[in-house]
Chains A and B, each alone.
Chain A
């Protein structure tokens, strides 16, 4: 696909996300500005804790952000309600998880058909679609097996088939090869590349697997919750934790806890945290 034909499918602006452990804030994303164009096979690379999964989850509407915008297919997913997000995910986004995350009590075929039925397709139609995609990912003969009767690689192929069954425009894959051996992992990457090229589905993959990074049409480097141009670049630390992790976003009970935490102790904790970042 030529670059001229590629429209922006995902766009984030000044995205911030903070996790809290008790009264301690941990900034996960710090001002992420990202554009993904249609049909890209983009890989989010970075060390563990760099914010890859968090960014993927926010783009997929699985998690909310503290600040900023996340437009997916022209719609700000952060402004949607829970029910809207569910419908949006079902129609537009396919997920592939590190741990496959198949439904244990359903067969491979039923796992794939499940999402089609959620879309309102009939049982028969859904099973036909499931058979088609299981053949596409080369495990059509294993459709009647349950997840616990499949190898890790086979389970991940079922997960890919499930992600594709609703014919989404975007596939978000979080460390899809992390639980696979290198050969199976490479086969999965080839499969995803083939599907990206034939279906023109946009893939956004978080991974620190060198094979995945090598296959990427674009590599996005994340470090300490910020996009960097090179791994040598040292990201700017947050100016203040209060600005990155505003207390007003916390639940009322947590805010009360802060009120009763001795100020000196909190300042000391924050100083330690900030110095660790810098």
Chain B
């Protein structure tokens, strides 16, 4: 572009911006409407993100971790015959990938018995030292405490199970199960902790003891059924591929959380789907609002366009003026909306949004009553780009209409 041409383009853009400044109320109202739409969108998306992070974080931190490794088929049918052949090899592979937050478990079915009754449970042997690196189970124990290293035959039960068995801290609980050979075994445990998470999955049907105790009980010293790993969500797909490559041929199943519990992933996808629908509706409202303003502005200035054409402004330049106006309105709206939306997220993200009146005091479906909205740059980028695109689109129609005006008719009828 030559210097004169670029100066002319800049001059036309200046005229367009002067037009906007010449009608401050109209410009502010339209930009304000866009800003409010965008801010509400950013907030809603941030809240949604906070909710998902909270829910998925709680879900993973409760007991399952981000990723689990088992012997092939163990997840579908937990069986002591399906222990991992060489746990050391998996530990080394994980460490080669830079993973330090992992823990080993031994899982089996058992029957918990008290003086009053019995209940079927999933008996989990956990490593008291490494388990806090991958889950936050410790923080979910409302009564008593978590397992301690070198502690034998200590037991943690969910609140519902403890209630059904009518046992309290310090009471004896008999765990009945089968050892590696299929022979029935029974051992006495002391109840040291009760999980009061409010989640049915944790509070019911689970009994936790130390890994060493369970290994001794089922006669599987040094053997495990499960590796539980904690990594960042973004790293997960790449890590699964790397581990699959590295541990190939060992008959292992490397399962991210969403493969084990796809319903959670589907729920998040569905929730995001509603959000995108909302995004579409807001974009439509922005588009309609801006289109309406620009068309009104065009009607208001039909005469001016006629004059501009009469003194030599080409149709393309008239169209350019209108598109610049539309984009400028959009940019003002985007700046204001992004600022407002970000401020709301930063504020609510610090103090949290208390949903206890809706959810109750304890969490339900792994959602804490206090939600902290999250500000994500890619959300800002997507929403700002979408609004900018909507602004350009809303400018094209009035620009096309204006470019079809006949100078004399525009001056006469404007």
> B259 contacts which chain A residues (CB < 8 A)?
none
B232 at the interface (CB under 8 A from A): no
A95 to B303 alpha-carbon distance, docked (Å)? 15
> A114 contacts which chain B residues (CB < 8 A)?
11, 15, 311
A117 at the interface (CB under 8 A from B): yes
B307 at the interface (CB under 8 A from A): yes
Nearest-CB residue, chain B, relative to A121: B4
> A115 contacts which chain B residues (CB < 8 A)?
311-312
> B311 contacts which chain A residues (CB < 8 A)?
89-90, 95, 114-115, 118, 162
Which A117-151 residues have a C-beta within 8 angstroms of B? 117-123
A82 at the interface (CB under 8 A from B): yes
> B411 contacts which chain A residues (CB < 8 A)?
97, 101
20 A-B pairs within 8 Å (CB atoms) are namely: A60-B310, A63-B408, A83-B314, A86-B312, A87-B312, A89-B311, A95-B311, A97-B307, A101-B310, A103-B15, A103-B304, A105-B21, A105-B22, A106-B18, A114-B11, A114-B311, A115-B311, A117-B11, A119-B312, A162-B311
> A87 contacts which chain B residues (CB < 8 A)?
312, 314
A123 to B15 alpha-carbon distance, docked (Å)? 13
Closest 9 CB pairs of A and B: A90-B312, A105-B18, A105-B22, A101-B307, A120-B4, A86-B314, A62-B407, A63-B408, A62-B408
CB 8 Å contact bits of A101-119 with B (1 = contact, 0 = none) = 1111110000000110111
CB atoms of B5 and A120 under 8 A apart? yes
A232 to B186 alpha-carbon distance, docked (Å)? 131
Chain B interface, number of residues (Cβ within 8 angstroms): 30
Nearest-CB residue, chain A, relative to B309: A86
CB 8 Å contact bits of B269-283 with A (1 = contact, 0 = none) = 000000000000000
A108 to B402 alpha-carbon distance, docked (Å)? 25
Nearest-CB residue, chain B, relative to A162: B311
CB atoms of B313 and A86 under 8 A apart? yes
Which A184-231 residues have a C-beta within 8 angstroms of B? none
**Closest CB of chain A to B148's CB: distance in Å?**
78
- Taking Cβ atoms with an 8 Å cutoff, the residues of B that contact A are 2-5, 7-8, 10-11, 15, 18-19, 21-22, 303-304, 307-317, 406-408, 411
CB atoms of B11 and A123 under 8 A apart? yes
CB atoms of B310 and A95 under 8 A apart? yes
- Taking Cβ atoms with an 8 Å cutoff, the residues of A that contact B are 57, 60, 62-63, 82-83, 86-87, 89-91, 95, 97, 101-106, 114-115, 117-123, 162, 166
> B309 contacts which chain A residues (CB < 8 A)?
62, 86
> A123 contacts which chain B residues (CB < 8 A)?
7, 10-11
CB atoms of B314 and A120 under 8 A apart? no
A150 to B354 alpha-carbon distance, docked (Å)? 60
Known pairs A63-B406, A120-B8, A122-B7; A104 contacts B314 (CB<8 A): no
> A166 contacts which chain B residues (CB < 8 A)?
312
A32 to B411 alpha-carbon distance, docked (Å)? 24
CB atoms of A62 and B22 under 8 A apart? no
**Closest CB of chain B to A19's CB: distance in Å?**
11
Give which listed residue, B11, B312, B408, contacts A89 with CB less than 8 A: B312
CB atoms of A106 and B312 under 8 A apart? no
> B8 contacts which chain A residues (CB < 8 A)?
117-118, 120
Q: For A62, A63, A91, which residue has the most chain B Cβ atoms within 10 angstroms? A: A62
Nearest-CB residue, chain B, relative to A165: B311
Nearest-CB residue, chain B, relative to A125: B4
> A90 contacts which chain B residues (CB < 8 A)?
311-312
CB atoms of B310 and A82 under 8 A apart? no
CB atoms of A86 and B408 under 8 A apart? no
> B2 contacts which chain A residues (CB < 8 A)?
120
> A82 contacts which chain B residues (CB < 8 A)?
314-315
**Closest CB of chain B to A12's CB: distance in Å?**
17
A90 to B317 alpha-carbon distance, docked (Å)? 13
CB atoms of B408 and A104 under 8 A apart? no
> B22 contacts which chain A residues (CB < 8 A)?
104-105
**Closest CB of chain B to A56's CB: distance in Å?**
10
**Closest CB of chain A to B303's CB: distance in Å?**
8
CB atoms of B315 and A83 under 8 A apart? yes
Nearest-CB residue, chain A, relative to B318: A86
CB atoms of B307 and A118 under 8 A apart? no
Known pairs A62-B407, A83-B314; A103 contacts B308 (CB<8 A): yes
**Closest CB of chain B to A70's CB: distance in Å?**
14
Nearest-CB residue, chain A, relative to B23: A105
A207 to B350 alpha-carbon distance, docked (Å)? 73
A97 to B304 alpha-carbon distance, docked (Å)? 12
A152 to B406 alpha-carbon distance, docked (Å)? 26
A83 to B19 alpha-carbon distance, docked (Å)? 24
Instruction: Knowing that A97-B411, A106-B15 touch, tell me 7 more A-B residue pairs with CB under 8 angstroms.
Output: A86-B312, A89-B311, A103-B15, A119-B312, A120-B5, A121-B4, A122-B3
